[in-house]
Amino acid sequence: MIAKYAVVVIVGVVALLLGNTRSTCTDVDEGYCSSDQRHEGGSSVEELESRIRELEARMPKKYPEVKFLTYKDRKRILITGGAGFVGSHLVDHLMMEGHEITVADNFFTGRKRNVEQWIGHENFELLNHDIVNPLFIEVDEVYHLASPASPPHYMFNPVKTIKTNTMGTINMLGLGKRVGAKVLIASTSEVYGDPEVHPQPETYWGHVNPIGPRACYDEGKRVAEALGYAYAKQENVDVRVARIFNTYGPRMHMNDGRVVSNFILQALQNETMTIYGSGKQTRSFQYVTDLVEGLIALMRSNYTQPVNLGNPEEHTIEEFASVIRELVGNTKSEIENLSPVEDDPKMRRPDISRAKKQLKWQPTVPLKVGLEKTIEYFRRELQRSKHSERNIFSRDEVVS
């Protein structure tokens, strides 16, 4: 196949060169060319370059070298929300391991560009599908990540957020029941609400406002967990539940309104860095590759109770703003405090004792290392001016 396309390129180049030879200079005997003829020759060169680019675009696509697995070890894995921030990194990891991956995404917050490096690969399939509607495919595992996860996105259409986390979860659990697939539900630290226990263990039932602006997401995820364990008890579906704490890294949505993305964008653009409230509220951030490894470890374990996946290293929002401003460098951004957001948690820190014991997992990427890579990603995104500047990160590039 490659040889075939190489021949096409060579034939095209030769044809155009011959055309240039005929049209570039008609007065060869006299030994000179008119300015019009020279200009025509220049146009032909541009035409040639354009044609070469067009032919190169038809060449077979090059993919990262993935591990080969036999049919005994290769799994068919569905990732809902797989074109999103976390989902796309999970896709990269599992594709490199040699599994067959199907991504279902409605592209509300996900982007095709996050998984474009795999489109066309024999082990990869991308479905434009909203999981509020049933999906009938054959799979061995389901990573159910689909849901808007940042306040501006899940508050944009709260009814749809609730439907995604209830009807969508029912559809994925129903799929698991029909085909005997293991289902991992991506829950959230928001199930703890504005916690009165610190740090938050999985045994804490939470302190959630059921009718507040965040309720569509907080209660939606709480129902998703309840559905998971109802299907496990009643229908014997093999269920895993991950309670994911704040996560950051490359491919974060530029306008998701979260702390890290807001601060980085504001600092890079010399805008005022806005803190909602006093800035004394705390958060714990994990780098995206740590989370992906935790999700995979949970899926492959025999542990069925909810597991916190997060970084127990706690910082105030003020500290995050100062660290990011320092890492961006050469920024004129000042820090300004604005009115607090309703139901914004005052503390957020996971107790990961269960993950350490049951999964042998804990985050390893230092905060500053992860922030430097995230800042570089945002800087490249802001400078991007054409589609050919790809959004592709190898796993080594993201982690190392």
Active site residues: 217
Please report where in the chains the tokens 């299907």 appear, as a residue.
231
DSSP assignment string, 271-282: --EEEESSS--E
Q: How far apart are CA 87 and CA 143, in angstroms?
A: 9
For residue 198, report the phi and psi dihedrals to the nearest 5 degrees: -145, 130
Q: Cα–Cα–Cα angle for 268, 269, 270, nearest 5°?
A: 95
Looking at the DSSP bridge assignments, the partners of residue 104 are: 80, 127
Looking at the DSSP bridge assignments, the partners of residue 336 are: 274
Q: Which of 205, 234, 181, 207 is nearest to 306 (CA)?
A: 205
Class of residue 42 by CB neighbours under 10 A (exposed 0-12, middle 13-18, buried 19+): exposed
Number of residues assigned to the chain = 400
The b-or-e profile of 307-345 (16+ CB within 10 A means b, else e) is: bbbbbbebbebbebbbebbebbeebebebeeeeeeebeb
Q: How far apart are CA 191 and CA 309, in angstroms?
A: 13
Q: How far apart are CA 145 and CA 147, in angstroms?
A: 6
Q: How far apart are CA 186 and CA 241, in angstroms?
A: 6
- On whether the CB atoms of residues 47 and 55 are closer than 8 A, the answer is no
